[in-house]
Chains A and B, each alone.
Chain A
Amino acid sequence: MQAVYLPVALAVVVVVWVLFAFALGRYRASRRDGPAPTRDRPVLELAIAALLAAIVAALVVVTFGANARETENDDPVRFRVDALAYKWGWQFTYPSLPGAMDRTTRTRPPILHVPAGTTVEVVLRTQDVTHAFWVPAVKFKSDAWTGAVHRFRLVFPPGDHLSGHCAQYCGLRHSDMTFTVHAMGAAEFRAWAARASGRPA
Chain B
Amino acid sequence: MSVAAPARPPFAPLQGVAGTLFGTDHKAVAVRTFVLAFGFFLGGGVLALLMRTELMAPGMQVTSRTGYDEMFSMHGSTMIYLFVTPVALALGTYFVPLQVGAAEIAAPRVNLLGFWLYALGGLIVWLSWFPRNGAAQAAWTGEYPFSDSTSLPGTGMDMWIVGVSLATVGAILWAGCQLATIVARRAPGMTLLRMPVFTWAMLATCLMTVASFPSLLGAMGGLLLDRHGVEVFPGAGGAAAYQHLFWFYGHPVVYTMFFPFVGVALEILATFSRRRVFGYRGVALSLLAFAALSSAVWGHHMFTTGEVSNLYFSLTSHMLAVPAGMEYVAAIGTLIGGALVLRAPMLFAVGFFVQFLIGGLTGIYVASPPLDYHVHDSYFVVAHLHYTLFAGSVFGLFAAVYYWWPKVTGIMLGERLGRLQFWLLAIGTNVTFFPMFLVGYDGMPRRVADYAASAGWTGTNLIETIGSYVIALGMLAFAVNVVTSWLAARPAGPDPWGAQTLEWATSSPPPRHNFERALPPIRSAEPLMDLRGVPEASR
Contact = CB atoms under 8 A, between A and B. Distances in A.
Q: Is B a genuine binding partner of A?
A: yes
Interface of A: 1-2, 5, 9, 12-13, 16-17, 19-20, 22-24, 26-29, 32-42, 45, 48-49, 52-53, 55-56, 59-60, 62-64, 66-67, 70-71, 87, 128-130, 132, 134, 136-137, 139-143, 145-148, 150, 163, 165-176, 178
A136 B374 contact: yes
B495 interface: no
Interface stretch (B18-26, B181-189, B311-319, B415-423): B311-319
A66 B305 CA distance: 18
Contact of B376 (A29, A34, A167): A167
B236 interface: yes
A20 B146 contact: no
A23 B281 CA distance: 22
10 contacts: A9-B361, A13-B358, A16-B354, A20-B332, A22-B336, A29-B340, A34-B274, A42-B282, A143-B306, A169-B143
A35 B338 contact: yes
B104 interface: no
Nearest to A26: B336
Q: Which of A63, A130, A139 counts the most chain B CB atoms within 10 A?
A: A63
Interface residues of B, number: 88
B459 interface: no
A36 B339 CA distance: 8
A155 B319 CA distance: 32
Given A23-B336, A67-B311, A52 B374 contact: no
A20 B326 contact: no
Contacts of A150: 306
Contact of B353 (A1, A20, A22, A53): A20
A23 B305 contact: no
B155 interface: no
Contacts of A23: 332, 335-336, 338, 340
Contacts of A128: 145, 151
Contacts of A55: 321
B239 A27 contact: no
Nearest to A36: B337
A83 to B, nearest CB: 15
A169 B376 contact: no
Contact of A45 (B304, B307, B326, B358): B326
A147 B537 contact: no
A71 B304 CA distance: 11
B131 interface: no
Contacts of B66: 172
Interface of B: 65-66, 69, 137, 139, 143, 145-146, 151-152, 235-239, 273-282, 304-307, 310-311, 314-315, 318-319, 321-322, 325-326, 328-329, 332-342, 350, 353-354, 357-358, 361-362, 364-365, 367-371, 373-374, 376-378, 442-443, 445-452, 455, 534-539
Contacts of A29: 274, 339-341
B371 A132 contact: no
Given A38-B277, A40-B281, A52-B321, A147 B236 contact: yes
Nearest to B304: A143
Contacts of B137: 171
Contact of A38 (B278, B350, B368, B451): B278
Contacts of B279: 40-41, 45
Q: Which of A26, A38, A173 counts the most chain B CB atoms within 10 A?
A: A38
Contact of A139 (B339, B342, B374, B539): B374
A143 B303 CA distance: 9
Contacts of A19: 332, 336
A143 B304 CA distance: 6
B145 A130 contact: yes
A2 to B, nearest CB: 7
Contacts of B273: 27, 35
B145 A9 contact: no
A71 B336 CA distance: 46
B537 A178 contact: no
Given A37-B535, A132-B377, A146 B326 contact: no
A148 B243 CA distance: 15
Contact of A24 (B329, B350, B534): B350
B363 to A, nearest CB: 10
Contacts of A56: 318-319, 321-322
B361 A13 contact: yes
B146 A171 contact: yes
Contacts of B377: 132, 134, 141, 167-169
B275 A37 contact: yes
Contact of B451 (A52, A132, A175): A175
B538 A165 contact: no
Contacts of A12: 357, 361
A19 B319 CA distance: 23
A3 B330 CA distance: 30
Contacts of B326: 45, 48-49, 52
A148 B450 CA distance: 29
